[in-house]
Each structure stands twice: as structure tokens, then as C-alpha cells.
Amino acid sequence: MKIISLILTLFWFASSIEDFRATHVFMIGDSTMANKPERNLPEYGWGQVLNHFFTDAIVVDNHAKNGRSSKSFIDEGSWEKVITQVQKGDYVIIQFGHNDQKSDTARYTGPFDTYQDNLKRFINETKEKGGIPILCTSIVRRLFNENGTLRDSHGDYLTGVKQVANETGVYFIDMEAKTRKLVESMGQEKSKQLYLFFESGIYPHRPEGKEDNTHLSQLGAFTIAGLAVEEMKALDIPLVKQLVEK
């Protein structure tokens, strides 16, 4: 009887392992969030480093891509690849806007029509699969005015996201406001550390150097991912139960 009991216990344990699936955090958005290949270093996206904040019970599956708007992300089939994988209890972090402003027909969306429609589609289809959407505004561009404050380079797209968040009642992180506060507090010179600023001759694969007020350094990616995590904690999103203790 003891042998049979042991066999049954082992069988149950093996079945439980097979049934276990880590919670997935799918990320959809643009280049400020995307994973960067080695040829792009020292550029990072904040979604690229988010996994470092969580235990192995969370899998961060970053589908953000350079140059994508909410429209082009759908049209090229990237959203279909994501939503077919979403299961009950998974999260989908949504951050578009940078490229929805672009004038080309492949990417442009109106801030109060197509843009909002696309965001609602991401939200509704995630909910239909039992997933949990987290809606974000775009991170701020490092574009200082003469008075030391940052220009608003996203305009109505920020309002558009906030309206959708209010209408749908989903978790909402105002990444633009969070990053604006941080960058302004650091000032014009120190804030360059967060963005892609490096001199010529440092990186053999990028010999020309770079001064980029939109995309992030490794420090910037970790810092901004940390801001997102802080806001998740403030919102008491269940996901934060799996944060790595520091």
C-alpha cells in the first residue's frame, strides 16, 4: 500500500508540474519599450529590462517593436500573434502614441478616433481572453524649453489614452507624467544619462555617436521600468506580489 501511495503521490506531483504555467506579461508598444539587438547597443527599451524586477513566476514577453503605431502593430499581424497567446490571468501592457503621430498612412491615427479605437480593441480582446490590460501613456521626450521645463510633444494623444482608461476602467499608468517629473528634476545635463547620448568613436558598430532625446540608455531603461513598477505597486496590481525583494 505504501508503494502504491508513493506512486500516486509522484504521479500527482508530476501532473501538477505539467499544469503549472507562469503568469505572462505581454508588452506591446514602440521602440521606447522594445528589446534591442546587440547592433543597437547601448540603446535599450524599458520593456527589455522589466523581467529583472520579477521572480521566475513571471515571464515578460516583450512584443514592442521599433517604429510601430497602434495601427501598424495591428495591420502587420503583431497583435494577432500576441492575443492568441494570452491566457487567463496574464497581463498586457499597452503603450503607443509616439508613432501614431506620424503623418504616413501606414502609422497615423487620429487621437480621438482610430487611436482610441485601437486601444479599446487591445483592452477588450485581452479581457475576452481573461487577461488584465494595463494602459500607459508614452514616456516623455527630452525636449527642454528655455525655462527648464519639458515641451509637450504628445498633445492630444495623452488625452486620448486617459479618456480610454477612464471609459474602460482598466489599470492606467501615466508614464508621461512620471518620466516628465523625473527628467525635469534631473535637469538638462544630468538627464542625458537616461537617453541615448554618446560621443563618436566609443562604439565600433556606431562610430558616429548619438544625441537622441527619445530613446533610452541602459540606465534610462532600468530607471523608467522602475517607475512603472512603482506605479504598479501604488495601484496594488496583483502582479507586484511577484516582485524580487531588494
- Average pLDDT for residues 96-107, to the nearest whole number? 97
Cα-Cα end-to-end distance for the chain: 47
- Per the prediction, the chain carries an average pLDDT of 92
What integer pLDDT is reported at residue 236 of this predicted model?
Answer: 97
CA–CA gap between residue 53 and residue 242 (Å, rounded) = 9
The answer to the question of residue 147 being in a domain is: yes
Contact status, residue 91 vs residue 131, Cβ threshold 8 Å: yes
3-state secondary structure of 235: coil
The answer to the question of residue 163 being in a domain is: yes
* 87 to 11, 39, 103, 173: CA distances (angstroms): 26, 33, 35, 22
Per residue in 168-200, is it b (16+ CB within 10 Å) or e — as a string?
bebbbbbbbebbbebbbeeeeeebbebbbbbee
The answer to the question of residue 107 being in a domain is: yes
The answer to the question of residue 8 being in a domain is: no
Look up residue 138 and give its DSSP letter. Answer: P
Residues with catalytic annotation?
Answer: 31, 211, 215
> Is a pLDDT exceeding 90 seen at residue 92?
yes
| Maximum average pLDDT range among 17-26, 149-158, 195-204 | 149-158
What integer pLDDT is reported at residue 15 of this predicted model?
Answer: 37
The CATH number for 122's domain is 3.40.50.1110
CA–CA gap between residue 112 and residue 160 (Å, rounded) = 6
The answer to the question of residue 178 being in a domain is: yes
Q: How many domains does the chain have?
A: 1
All residues at 6 or more sequence positions from 142 whose CB lies less than 8 Å from its CB, including other chains: 150, 183, 191, 192, 194, 195, 213, 214
Query: Which amino acid, 3?
Result: I
Q: Which of 19-23, 102-106, 178-182, 216-220 has the lowest mean pLDDT?
A: 19-23
Q: Which of 40-54, 86-100, 197-211 has the lowest mean pLDDT?
A: 197-211
The answer to the question of residue 1 being in a domain is: no
3-21 pLDDT, tens digit each: 544 443 334 433 334 456 8
What integer pLDDT is reported at residue 40 of this predicted model?
Answer: 86
**What is the domain extent for residue 219?**
23-239
- Average pLDDT for residues 151-161, to the nearest whole number? 97
